[in-house]
């Protein structure tokens, strides 16, 4: 199998699975228990918290484990809206966020919030000035992703964080950094809330984390109960998941620079190979090294994905989270119909090889040559 869909999820390295197995098999204590099996586990959870916090560039005491990136996005928006409930009911976001943010905004809209959804240009870009101009005296929160999962566009979070106090010193800034992890430091980004997910970096599914910055005073707990996670997210800690998350984060940090260099090289190589195919055009101007969006203009993307899938080559038609529905991200680019119809995403990880890219490019060329365009 040739896997080119790392933005959907990543394979779990053996050492991550081993770290999880060790906990599942032998270290089954509940961190809240008072005997040594529990107190030892509590210490280990704090060690894993420190490891993930180091990868996120934030203090461990401000990092809280969640069950996934979606949960972190939901919680962040709700926490920011709650803190600023007396300030106003306006939220600024973009039309190209992950549905975890967009759907939470839709819920908030039903509860009386006004949502400004900023539109990108045809290249997928949204500027800091565009975001800052949309901020008003009643803006409770701004939520802008760090890296777009379909286009690889990097949004200027640092610049937004820098300019925000002049527009409204109380507005809180959230960034969904799921696709940017581990290539940033929460401290440098300057956002008040940063959400990430383990399974995009070779950790297990079902665990994520949120950095909650000091401007969040008495944040509203996500789940009420036994008081775990500093009382903010009750529920017995998913110890094996957290152990795997920490191990994956450590592995990524150890190889951060070499992985980034390899991904950038691979992406440039893939771009060159793919754009040599007739009717293949670039989509967006994303610069994240692990995501490449292109379009086989006129060839419906779902057919391409199915054809390649039948040959054991995994790529995606936009985001895996859309389950075959047209992507709101592609729609927001307002591309010509034939281009929009053929958008595919290749995404890479440290294990991806040039041979994987060659196999994919070959299959795409055959797909192009053997079928008439449908549009
Ligand atoms: N945000 C972005 C940008 C994503 O790409 C994803 C997953 O695809 C999520 C949030 C959701 O993360 P999770 O699958 O952990 O809920």
Alpha-carbon gap, residue 270 to 273, rounded angstroms: 5
Q: Closest by alpha carbon to 143, among 103, 110, 200?
A: 103
Q: Which of 68, 105, 314, 321 is catalytic?
A: 321
C-alpha distances (whole Å) from 56 to each of 105, 136, 276 are: 25, 30, 38
pLDDT at site 373: 65
Under the banding of pLDDT at 50, 70 and 90, the label for residue 375 is low
Structure confidence by residue, pLDDT tens digits, 165-180: 999 999 999 999 999 9
**How much distance in Å is there from the Cα of 40 to the middle of ligand 1?**
32
Taking residues 136-152, report their average pLDDT: 98
Say if CB 259 and CB 351 are below 8 A apart: no
Taking residues 142-152, report their average pLDDT: 98
Token pair, residue 42, equals 């509590």
Taking residues 255-264, report their average pLDDT: 96
pLDDT at 261 over 60: yes
Structure confidence by residue, pLDDT tens digits, 52-85: 999 999 999 999 999 999 999 999 999 999 999 9
**How much distance in Å is there from the Cα of 309 to the middle of ligand 1?**
22
Long-range contacts at 268-277 (CB < 8 A, ≥ 24 apart): 269/354, 269/357, 270/346, 270/348, 270/357, 270/360, 270/361, 273/357, 273/358, 273/361, 274/346, 274/361, 274/364, 276/361, 277/361, 277/364, 277/365, 277/368
Alpha-carbon gap, residue 204 to 208, rounded angstroms: 9
At CA 149, angle to CA 249 and CA 69, rounded to 5? 50
Ligand 1 atom with the shortest distance to the CA of 97? 3
Say if CB 209 and CB 65 are below 8 A apart: yes
H-helix or E-strand containing 176? strand 172-176
pTM of the model: 0.96
Q: What is the CA radius of gyration of the chain?
A: 21
**How much distance in Å is there from the Cα of 274 to the middle of ligand 1?**
26
**How much distance in Å is there from the Cα of 131 to the middle of ligand 1?**
22
Instruction: For ligand 1, pick from 8, 152, 197, 293 the residue to mutate: most ligand atoms within 8 Å of CB.
Output: 197
Q: What 3-state class would DSSP assign to 14?
A: helix
C-alpha distances (whole Å) from 311 to each of 196, 273, 307 are: 32, 19, 7
**How much distance in Å is there from the Cα of 69 to the middle of ligand 1?**
5
Say if CB 362 and CB 312 are below 8 A apart: no
Active site residue 314: no
pLDDT at 322 over 60: no
Ligand 1 atom with the shortest distance to the CA of 208? 15
Q: What 3-state class would DSSP assign to 245?
A: helix
Q: Which residues have C-beta atoms less than 6 Å from ligand 1?
A: 68-70, 73, 98, 100, 145, 149, 176, 178-179, 197, 199, 208, 321
Instruction: For ligand 1, pick from 12, 66, 70 the residue to mutate: most ligand atoms within 8 Å of CB.
Output: 70
DSSP string, 118-169: EPP-TTS---HHHHHHH--TTEEEEE--SB-TTT-PBP-HHHHHHHHHHH-T
């Amino acid at each position: 199998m040739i896997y080119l869909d790392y933005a959907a999820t990543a394979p779990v390295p053996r050492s991550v699975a081993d770290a999880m197995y060790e906990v599942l098999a032998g270290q089954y204590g509940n961190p809240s228990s008072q005997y040594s099996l529990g107190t030892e586990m509590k210490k280990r959870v704090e060690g894993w918290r420190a490891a993930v916090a180091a990868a996120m560039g934030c203090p461990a005491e401000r990092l809280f484990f969640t069950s996934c990136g979606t949960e972190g996005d939901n919680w962040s928006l709700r926490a920011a809206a709650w803190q600023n409930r007396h300030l106003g009911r306006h939220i600024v976001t973009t039309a190209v966020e992950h549905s975890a943010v967009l759907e939470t905004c839709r819920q908030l809209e039903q509860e009386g919030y006004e949502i400004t959804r900023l539109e990108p240009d045809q290249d997928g870009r949204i500027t800091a000035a565009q975001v800052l101009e949309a901020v008003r005296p009643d803006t409770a929160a701004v939520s802008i992703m760090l890296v777009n999962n379909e286009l690889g566009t990097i949004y200027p979070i640092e610049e937004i964080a820098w300019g925000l106090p002049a527009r409204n010193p109380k507005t809180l800034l959230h960034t969904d950094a799921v696709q940017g992890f581990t290539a940033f430091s929460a401290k440098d980004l300057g956002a008040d809330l940063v959400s990430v997910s383990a399974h995009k970096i070779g950790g297990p599914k079902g665990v994520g984390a949120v950095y909650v910055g000091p401007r969040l005073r008495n944040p509203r707990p996500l789940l009420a109960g036994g008081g775990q996670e500093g009382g903010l997210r009750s529920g017995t800690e998913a110890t094996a998941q957290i152990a795997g998350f920490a191990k994956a984060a450590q592995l990524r940090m150890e190889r951060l620079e070499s992985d980034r260099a390899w991904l950038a090289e691979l992406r440039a190589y893939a771009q060159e190979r793919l754009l040599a195919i007739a009717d293949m055009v670039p989509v967006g101007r994303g610069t994240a090294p692990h995501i490449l969006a292109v379009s086989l203009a006129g060839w419906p993307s779902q057919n391409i994905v199915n054809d390649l899938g039948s040959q054991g080559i995994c790529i995606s038609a936009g985001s895996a989270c859309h389950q075959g529905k047209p992507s709101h991200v592609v729609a927001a680019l307002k591309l010509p119909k034939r281009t929009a119809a053929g958008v595919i995403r290749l995404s890479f990880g440290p294990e991806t090889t040039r041979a994987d890219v060659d196999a994919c490019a070959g299959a795409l060329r055959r797909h192009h040559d053997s079928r008439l365009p449908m549009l």
